[in-house]
Structure 1
Amino acid sequence: MKTYRKHLITALSALTLGTAALGAHAQTTDQAAPPARHGMQHQKPTPEQRAAFRAKRIARLHDELKITPAQENAWNAFVASMQPQARRQHDRAAWANLTAPERMAKMIDMQKQRTAALEQRQASLNTFYSVLSADQKKTFDEKAARFGHGHGHGHGMRHG
């Protein structure tokens, strides 16, 4: 009987300590402050800020490539083709009312539109690339290796 009582007291003590430890852990976790971001909150850039940053990258690439007057038309067409396309807002309620096959058909149609836009960009890129010198092509290839990488779903040059 004494052994049974000893085991019961030990088990209850362990259970009490475990519960207290969990409560203390939960309390400190809930009160912990989120990590600081070096004193600044990260905010999305405004459309104007994105446009200014894009213009700066384009101007820098223009200078690095040393575009000649004879290459300006191809350059301008290339830059125009690389401008981000306006995003279309989709009516979620309308999508919710579509059947699965109808949604899939719409997604395929949107993918075809994106592919067509990429093909137009490629044509403009090919035209521009064909007027570059060997040194310009080397510089452009180094910069183009970083196209499309970075934050968000942007199009065009990144980290240029």
Structure 2
Amino acid sequence: MKNAFRKTAVPFVLSLALVAGTAVAQSTAPASPSSSSSMSSAGKTHAQRRADRVEEQINDLHEKLQITDAQSKQWNAYADVMRDNARKASDAFRQRAQKMSTMSADEVMKSYAQLAQMHADDMQRLSAAFSDLYSALSPEQRQSADALFQNKAATAHHGAAHKKMTRPASASSAASTPST
């Protein structure tokens, strides 16, 4: 039973953590190259480093999609939803982590459900914002977006399946302990 719970809950929590990390990073304004390089990685918190990585991903997506000035309204709306989602997820994970040592098993399960519902609601908002952006893209940009998103989905799916198949049983149980 305990192992079945881990097999179900841990991938879910890890995926939420990745989404939260992406969202948190998107919640910060892009740092100028000089300011980000002048602050050492060691001087930053985990959340700041994660936010920097996500902001890099946002900038990369903006560049790869070649967002134009005419599309900036839809792009900014999409980015704002990502930033808002990130702030909410970051706060929720931080609050959960602070309470974890005093939570009963029932409360832990309810917290998973709350995180899942929050994630689902946030993804609905993000999807709607992306639909607005996607409709403003040129056919060439749409092709780029399609390729980028399909490639990311395939890589994420393949990576998760590969890890399951290659991870030794002892590493599997250690890796399945949530670190939120």
Task: Please report the TM-score for the alignment, with normalisation by the length of structure 1.
Answer: 0.52
Structure 2 residue aligned with 1:30: none
**Which of 103, 126, 144 matches 1:139?**
144
Q: Deviations over 1:86-111 (max 9, x none)?
A: 12332135422x6x4x6655543432
Structure 1 residue aligned with 2:77: 77
* 2:66 is the alignment partner of 1:66: yes
Percent identical among aligned pairs is: 25
Q: Deviations over 1:40-86 (max 9, x none)?
A: xxx9x833333233222222222222211110011111122234331
Higher helix share: 2
Structure 1 residue aligned with 2:123: 118
CA distance in 2 between counterparts of 1:120 and 1:111 reads 14
RMSD (Å), alpha carbons:
3.1
| Residues 1:132 and 1:117: Cα distance change in structure 2 (over 3 Å) | same
Matched residue type, 2:141? Q
CA distance in 2 between counterparts of 1:144 and 1:52 reads 21
Task: Please report the TM-score for the alignment, with normalisation by the length of structure 2.
Answer: 0.47
Structure 2 residue aligned with 1:92: 100
CA distance in 1 between counterparts of 2:120 and 2:76 reads 22
| Residues 1:144 and 1:81: Cα distance change in structure 2 (over 3 Å) | farther
CA distance in 2 between counterparts of 1:51 and 1:106 reads 24
Matched residue type, 1:89? Q
SS in 2 for 1:124: helix
Q: Please tell me whether the aligned partners of residues 65 and 141 of structure 2 are also in contact (alpha carbons under 8 angstroms).
A: yes
Structure 1 residue aligned with 2:52: 52
CA distance in 1 between counterparts of 2:139 and 2:73 reads 19
Deviation at 1:133, TM superposition (A): 1.1
CA distance in 2 between counterparts of 1:48 and 1:106 reads 24
| Residues 1:114 and 1:138: Cα distance change in structure 2 (over 3 Å) | same
What 5-or-longer segments of structure 2 have no aligned partner?
1-41, 161-180
CA distance in 2 between counterparts of 1:107 and 1:56 reads 29
Whichever of the two has the greater Rg, that structure is 1
CA distance in 1 between counterparts of 2:109 and 2:60 reads 42
What 5-or-longer segments of structure 1 have no aligned partner?
1-42, 152-160
CA distance in 1 between counterparts of 2:48 and 2:124 reads 28
Structure 2 residue aligned with 1:10: none
Matched residue type, 1:48? Q
